[in-house]
Copies of this chain bind each other. A is one copy, B any other.
């Protein structure tokens, strides 16, 4: 397990929320909140990271997470370069590290890494020089810490608390880094009623998600919930789950207005996107008054600004 903190307690890497404590997560959320602006207002800009260089290493050409990190870095005044590299498959082990060392020698201060194989961000973090930070932009099914933070921030903005909330996570939990990071965040922040709802074959192993209740049908998970987090389901997973595809999956597991009525009247609906409308979620729910899906996107930039500001400006101050 990589140590994510410096000796002085400041955040150096952000690979997972699992080993952060409540105080550290709260600090990131508070800083992120300071970067949030309502839609229609210009986002905050500063020169805090002027002179710093951030490299985005993503295995896919263009995703919302890549653009979100890019905008976060630029709005703090950093220089950003994009690399589309296949760290895990094209260049395994030592040659992956050669790419990391090369970026380090180009005076890159932070590497944002997204990769489909587990362990790549940690391997990078274990080898970079002390002044370099690694941030995960999504690691296999394992971890997606900035997504966990933006989900927590979105819940807090709407509920003003974590204690006492009932949060249902619904869908392909087994393969979801989003669910894992949400669980890390919510459990540390004091949410005690965390519910997992999924077909048996998409439910994680028993030893994972300690403290969560498990529901193999939707109704009991939604009953009285304050927050409903729908996950993206992939076609190939549905057949793995021995479920009929598309509409029939929707019949059993899709979030409709009728089902949403089982939750609390002011329950909020979340989704990490991209959505399969009509498969895991009905369009009128996705666009309805209880949906906070677009808030999640807006909060994503704020959370990434906070993460970059923490690892880069603190590091620099103490260097």
Interface residues of A (CB under 8 A from B): 37, 39-40, 42-43, 45, 51-53, 55, 61-62, 64, 67-68, 70-71, 74-75, 79, 81-85, 91, 94-95, 98, 101-107, 129-131, 273-275, 277, 283, 294-295, 297-298, 300-301, 319
Copies of this protein, total: 3
User: A275 CA to B95 CA in the complex, in Å?
Assistant: 7
| Other A-B pairs beyond A102-B273, A106-B298, A106-B300, 16, CB < 8 Å | A37-B107, A39-B105, A40-B129, A45-B51, A55-B67, A62-B82, A71-B106, A74-B79, A91-B274, A95-B275, A98-B275, A102-B297, A104-B294, A105-B294, A105-B295, A107-B298
State the Cβ distance, A318 to closest chain B Cβ, in Å. 12
User: A53 CA to B39 CA in the complex, in Å?
Assistant: 13
User: A319 CA to B38 CA in the complex, in Å?
Assistant: 14
Of A42, A61, A79, the most chain B CB neighbours within 10 A belong to A42
Known: A67-B81, A81-B71, A94-B277. A106 touches B297 (CB 8 A): yes
Of A61, A105, A130, A294, the most chain B CB neighbours within 10 A belong to A105
Q: Say whether A75 contacts B84, CB under 8 Å.
A: no
- In chain B, what residue has the closest Cβ to A283? B94
B residues in contact with A83, CB < 8 Å: 62, 67
